[in-house]
Structure formats: structure tokens, C-alpha cells
Amino acid sequence: MRADLTVGNPLPDIRLPETTGRELALSEIAAGRPLLLVFVRGWWCPKEQVRVRGLVGLQEEIQREHGRIAAVTVDEPYVNGAFRAGIGAGFPFLSDEDRSIARELDLLELTDEWHLPYLPFTFLLDTRLRIEAVWCGFWSWGNPTPDELRLGFREITRREQPTFDPQGVWAAGGSAPLAAGIDGDVIWIRENSKGDELWRGVHDGPVPEVGETVGHSSVDGRPWIVRRVERDGDRVAIHVSKEGKTGSPRLVGHHVVTPPDVR
């Protein structure tokens, strides 16, 4: 493993084709959330079958609660697609057929001269793609347990999201200070109509003006509107809340419980 791939340092934002051939970067997959990145030997390895099936068993829990998963192999997209479909994975499989990324990051399993696959490394990354933890599963016991992954995601969320203690934040003024939680030159803070903080993330692009729409809710489709822009030295916080009439709470529209094909 390359010497700089240590806890606290960023992992390169690698870009590789997924199972349809479309190239994806890690930052696109993570979409501002912590990312569990697994480098996989391949479908042919029985130990990796067990390992990846274990991740499939965790995928709803991780991807429901502010997390994402991605896998990388040296197989072609078509083979990755069959592997992904066969085990029911709901996360992308990326293809590093020419092993350029494997060599760049020094992650090849040199003792398997026939396949020359990835060593089964697992990286847990925070929302800035910084390394939170690393495991090497050359021996299967070296892979992280489900509880180790849960604890890792918990610590990232505790550090980045002031509302890990929601009542403390709301009682102290509704929204935590700009400098609390996730670090970034410009962040957005989603709030309710009274200014109570939900969660926050890093904003990319120009700082919007008060009154601008900066996205729509995945739950009810209402727009997120900029209510105020807070500045503290070189740091900026964009406070947003929803606008428009709410629907009935009995008509559930969240993407987790209402799949796209039945909306």
C-alpha cells in the first residue's frame, strides 16, 4: 500500500467505469456522505464471495443512514455486472482492468500471479474522502466486522454532524455554530421552518443569494431555499429550509421506502 494512504490523509478521487461502462469518481458515488470503499479480488474467490455478501447484508443499513458503498475489481464491467447482479448488490462495482489504479496505489496481490488481483483492502472514508480506517483482508480475519464498520460510521457522523446530539443543538439556539462539525470553506445547513438544524455538508460552487433554490427534498419534492448566509472570516454557512405546502404524512414519499419504479 502506498505510504501516504494512512488515517487522516485523503484517498485520491479515482475515476473508473462501472458496470454500464459509464465512468464514476468516488466523489460522485459518495455524494457528500461517508464512503465504504472495498477493493475486491474477484468473483472467483470464495473468500471474497463471503466478504462481499456480508456487505450486501449491510447495504440497506449503511446507505439508509448517511453512507455509501463502492467496490473496485480488476474484472471487466460485464463480469462485474454479473457478479453484482448475482449477489444482489445495490452499490456500484468499478472496473480497473488495466490495473493502473492498483499499481498507482500499490494494492496488487503479488502472490497471485495468475489473476494479479487487488489485495482485499477496505477503506472507510469521511465525507471529504479522508481515510478514517483501513483493513487488509489477505487473511479473512483481517476484514472489518459489521460492528467495526458501524462504529467507524458512528464516529464520522459524531464528528461531522452536530445533530448527533440533536436536543443539545436545538436547545442551544436551533443551529450549531458555523465552525462545528464538518469542515469546509463553505457549508450548507439544512433546517426546519423554525431554524432547527437537521444536518450539514460541504457546498461546491459559488455561494448562492438569499432566496435562491439550491435543490429539492428527496422526501416530498419541496425546494430548499436559502434563508440566510452566515460568514465568519473565510468560512461561510448557507442556511436553507424547505418552502411550500406540505403534503399528508400518511402519503410516504421517501426514496428508501418508495422505490423509484412505484412513484
- Give residue 254's pLDDT: 61
Nearest to 6 by CA among 121, 131, 152: 131
Q: Is the pLDDT of residue 106 over 50?
A: yes
Q: How far apart are CA 35 and CA 248, in angstroms?
A: 33
Quick check: 187 pLDDT over 80? yes
For the chain, the structural domain boundaries read 15-159, 165-242
On the question of pLDDT at 134 being above 70, the answer is yes
Mean pLDDT of the chain: 92
Read off the pLDDT band of 256 (50, 70, 90). Answer: low
Q: Which helix (H) or strand (E) holds 229?
A: strand 223-232
Determine the average pLDDT of the residues in 199-213. Answer: 94
Instruction: List CB contacts of 147: < 8 A, sequence separation 6 or more.
Output: none
- Identify which has the larger pLDDT, 247 or 236: 236
pLDDT digit string (tens) for 15-60? 999 999 999 999 999 999 999 999 999 999 999 999 999 999 999 9
Name the residue among 172, 221, 230, 171 with its Cα closest to residue 200. 230
Task: Provide mean pLDDT across the span 156-177.
Answer: 95
**Topology, domain 15-159:** Glutaredoxin (3.40.30)
